[in-house]
Amino acid sequence: MLRRYVFPTKAGKIIKSPKQAALSPLSTELSSLPYPPDALPGGRDVPTPYGNVHVFEFGPSDGERVLFLHGLSMPCLSGSRTAVSLADKGYRVMLFDLFGRGWSDTPDPEDVDYDERLFVSQIMMVVASSEVSWTGNAMAGGNGGFHIIGYSFGGGLAANFASWFPHLVRSLVLVAPSGLLKRSDISWSTRWLYSRFWPAERLLHQFYRRRLEPKYTAPEEGSDGDGKKTGDPWDDAIISPGRPIVTVASITSWHLRYHQGFVPAIISSLRYGPIYERYDEWRKLGSMLSARRDNLRLPGLIGGKVLLIFGSSDQIVQKDKIMSDMEGILGGDACQVEVLDAGHEVGITRGAEVAEVAIKFWRKPS
């Protein structure tokens, strides 16, 4: 890691997406991949200085625009239920794979920290790539700007983006969001493990790869299934409603097998991403929401409220723990809360309900 500072390079290395590794030998078997590159309508690759970004954009071109930001380790396919439901209701939807996930390239984490600067830049480059205008001041009664639905890690990114560009954001829907998790809730050994001072980065990658590998159970006797179950609600969460074999576990296994940038990107995101104790940027967001409740003419964050959606049995982002900080930082008047019957997989398995609750929130008079 020291070579990054001692021997700076002119251009950072880019780790290519799985397209070369996965598609060349499997070109006739795309449909069998857990996450084919054409899994959703409107797929395209967007070239950027950090590498290609895989994007899906679909729905009526004149509909209100909605950007979905996925979680830490799943690609944007995890938002398919939400996206399809919204498009069916007349919204223009965009999803994309964060760097190091899915079909997006990976700017080498030895050159680039996976922090909010990288991801906010990625969001701006992606929305600017559309043939439909996604920018412009978001005003009540107008069609400028876009809603953001951020799930888990994507929720922390959404809050950070809105704190910098509030005028572009019509509303925030945060599903089991990161950003205000407490470091005290993780062990000291885990904190040290993901610190930047790990002496042997390659060993860390090997360790974390083993930690991520799903542990499948044997098929039950007499079962017609293929045995691809782990017994864990998160790993067994079905991502594609029409393809029950596509689960969090199968996508994780695919990532580990084909995406060379996946593990380095996740580790860098854990180190630098908006996950823990981001109080200052959330206070900044809270001030912006308050200003918009007082002055409805200000662009963006229309109505000055955010919609927060939690899973009733989520053990990672626990509503009762998070809301005590959330209401204190954003203000009780800024928060509308909904709870759905799920664990941390709420943004995946309850995607249609997320869309339904979001639409009600958007249509509610300010």
Residue 194 is predicted with a pLDDT of 65
Residue 225 is predicted with a pLDDT of 41
Angle at 300 between CA 122 and CA 52, to 5 degrees: 10
Single-letter code of the amino acid located at 281: E
Residue 332 falls inside a structural domain: yes
Among all chains, which residue has been given the structure tokens 């030998």?
25
Full residue range of the structural domain in which residue 344 is found? 3-24+40-184+268-363
Residue 168 falls inside a structural domain: yes
Residue 203 is predicted with a pLDDT of 79
The rounded distance, in Å, linking the Cα atoms of 25 and 322 is 46
SS3 174: strand
The rounded distance, in Å, linking the Cα atoms of 345 and 54 is 23
SS3 15: strand
Residue 239 is predicted with a pLDDT of 93
- CATH number of the domain enclosing 278: 3.40.50.1820
Residue 260 falls inside a structural domain: no
Which tokens go with 65? 């625009």
Residue 209 falls inside a structural domain: no
**Structural domain total, the chain:** 1
pLDDT digits 0-9 by tens, 109-147: 999 999 999 999 999 999 999 999 999 999 988 889 999
SS3 354: helix
Residue 217 is predicted with a pLDDT of 58
Residue 130 falls inside a structural domain: yes
Distances (CA, A) of 331 to 56, 63, 113, 177, 309: 35, 31, 31, 17, 16
The rounded distance, in Å, linking the Cα atoms of 287 and 13 is 39
Are 175 and 356 contacting, i.e. CB atoms less than 8 angstroms apart?
no
- Alpha carbon dihedral 15, 19, 24, 30, in 10-degree steps, equals 160
Residue 10 is predicted with a pLDDT of 53
Task: For the chain of 366 residues, list the mean pLDDT of each consecutive stretch of 10.
Answer: 50 86 57 89 98 98 98 97 98 99 97 97 98 94 95 98 98 97 76 64 82 69 49 88 89 94 95 94 97 95 97 95 92 95 97 98 82
Residue 106 falls inside a structural domain: yes
Residue 32 is predicted with a pLDDT of 79
Which tokens go with 228? 């691809």
Residue 246 falls inside a structural domain: no
Residue 47 falls inside a structural domain: yes
Length of the chain: 366
